[in-house]
Amino acid sequence: MLDRIKACLPSLAPAEQRVGKLVLADPRAFANLPITELADRAHVSKPTVVRFCRSVGYDGLSDFKLKLAGSVSEGVPFVHRSVDVDDKTADVLVKVIDNTVAAFLKYRNDASSFAVQKATDALAAASSNSRRIEFFGVGNSGIVAQDAQHKFFRLGVNTVAYSDGHMQVMSASMMGPGDCVVVISNSGRTRDLMDACDIARKNGATTIVITASGSPLASAGHIHLAADHPEGYDRYSPMVSRLLHLMIIDILATCLALRIGGKLQPLLKEMKNNLRNKRYA
């Protein structure tokens, strides 16, 4: 959580930066002090303290304090252990699993339910109005986009995934108000995705970005679902990042399925029945 605040700090307004620096200076004290004293210590107004909490992806001061207390007190001891060339198979197994489990638990502590709610609202509105929902990603993120298309397709949602930069730009150019695009990126610095996101946003579509905090893409979308982790981009294949992105897609798909409600169950049941003759008994 503190790494996330550090990453967001340069993009915040000067007054909100002072609040962020106050958090980083003494997280435990920040979690326990009343808003009046926090505002006095940071030399800002009380609404600025609340705005800071929302700017870094939390529902408000109460939600921020709850997550902060869990991070610095109970928390999850997160140590990313890199895989080395001389590791034995047993070492690789333990490191990959430990890194993944720790990243998932860290995300559970850091995730903004407010941002997920906003993303769900946008996807539900697009689905109920028969508007377009599309998923963009390249490389490993392109595979996540295809997985997202498959999950949402099973919910009866009219959706498509593109991993080609030209197709993304062309599709974004045809989007309009009411449409929704989910842009997935590990680094948040891929030019093709940035271009497509900007075009879709200019055309009035709602843009949801799943990427690292503090990246250019994080500030380019309407709704940012932060996927932060210490994994580098230069060694082996991104593992934790891909799994985090898949988990976020699962959360969105589950939230949307619950929003669709009872009418989804007959559809899924019929789909399952129709697939039975495709399997060996």
Choose between 57 and 251: higher pLDDT: 251
Pick among 3.30.390.50, 1.10.3720.10, 1.10.10.10, 3.40.190.10: CATH of 2-74 = 1.10.10.10
* Average pLDDT of every residue of the chain: 88
Identify the pLDDT of residue 235: 53
Q: How does 265-277 read in b/e, with b if 16+ C-beta sit within 10 Å? A: eeeeeeeeeeeee
| pLDDT tens string 171-227 | 999 999 999 999 999 989 999 999 999 999 999 999 999 999 889 999 999 999 999
Instruction: Give the distance between the most distant pair of CA atoms in the chain.
Output: 70
| pLDDT tens string 222-241 | 999 999 876 655 455 557 88
- Domain boundary assignment for the chain: 2-74, 113-262
Query: Residue 210: which H helix or E strand, with range?
Result: strand 206-211
**Percent of the chain with pLDDT strictly greater than 90:** 53
Tell me: pLDDT of 77 over 80.
no
Identify the pLDDT of residue 224: 95
CATH class, domain 113-262, is alpha beta
Q: Which 3-state string (H, E, C) describes 13-55?
A: CHHHHHHHHHHHHCHHHHHHCCHHHHHHHHCCCHHHHHHHHHH
Amino acid at 87: D
Question: Distance between CA atoms of 217 and 255, rounded to whole angstroms?
Answer: 24
Tell me: pLDDT of 131 over 70.
yes
Same fold, 2-74 and 113-262: no
Interval 262-268 mean pLDDT: 80
Identify the pLDDT of residue 80: 53
Interval 77-92 mean pLDDT: 70
Identify the pLDDT of residue 86: 82
